[in-house]
Structure 1
Amino acid sequence: MRAVAIIAVMSVISGCGIVPKKVTPEQTAASTRFYPGKTAAELKAASEKTLTLLVPDRMKLDAQENGVRARYNYSYAQTRIGYVGNTTSFFTDHGMGVTWYEVVFTEEAGGTRARLAYLNRGDLTKNVISPEITALHNSFRSDIPMTGRTSVEDFTLFHDRVEYLVGLRSAWAPCPTTKVTERTFMEFCDRTGLKNDAP
């Protein structure tokens, strides 16, 4: 019991000392792309298809006048280790998570600009279900803030795929073949349950 208390205290102390990563200029630039000669309607259809192909049977879409909102709900299990006296015990937490996506379109002279934002919450239930958590889990998000944890690689992959679907790129952009332990985690490729089908 004493060991568990020490581990808990150390976790709290180390967590308090973590400073959130700031959004970089590279992230801001990668989140937005200009599509020459393309309308918002064309980009909306391509964005909906790109997001749906991540997990065709589970992605929920909400089309807006100037954009697309989407939501992917998933469940997961994670094993924790604990100690009671000299006995080692394993505990399994079952949880539900959600990733929200938002693509906003702005028509400009000569084409349309699209901005992607996404946000993951992977700790929504932790074995506890409440009306508030259920409502959050089943909602769509808008005005999603960019965080230091968003990946330039995710933005690039999304926009490359949209470019392919609107005819500005000759090949579909696949997920990296490198193991996730050897590269940056990508929300679009490495999140639990995603299929990443090609069109």
Structure 2
Amino acid sequence: MKHYSTRLLMTCAAIGVAGAVLFTVNAWVGGTVANLVPFLYGLTIGLYFVPGALAQALIQRGGVGLLTTAFAGLAASPFQPLFFGAFLISLAIGALQEIPFLIGRYRHWRTWIFLVGSIVSGLIMCGASIRLLDGEQTSLLGQIVIIGATAVSPPLFTMLAVWLSRSLARAGVGRDLRRTEDRKA
């Protein structure tokens, strides 16, 4: 944490709190959707990827995705049906988001890395969705829809976060938060 300025931490916290609002709304709306139309629940899972991807694309420093999702999970936990479980889920998603950039030693922040990482994360989330929604009890078509929705949602919301981060960067948000050598490139 010695390389994280107060400004960077506050930026991650602000994005995290905005993400906590998304998480909380999604928990209640997504829970209702899961009970009424379980096949569509997978479409809401991608919301959990927005804060971490937004922070990573905007700041482009190692650990900010995990840090931001941790802030989001902590802020959302008291208002979630899962309580502290929301924080643990946020940490898991933040860790999944950090892995592709960690493999590259946080040197490259290209859009395709965000896309590939989110596709892999979406595929990992498919197994959780099948278990959560009792997919074993649904028809083959139902399982295909659950898997398809869950696999597509994280890449869509990640690309939305990357686009939003570029818009924010053009507006001057996050200026000077990247490392000096990254700003020169």
Normalised TM-score (structure 1): 0.27
Normalised TM-score (structure 2): 0.28
Larger radius of gyration: 1
More helix by share: 2
Which protein, 1 or 2, shows the higher relative CO under an 8 Å CA cutoff with sep ≥ 6? 2
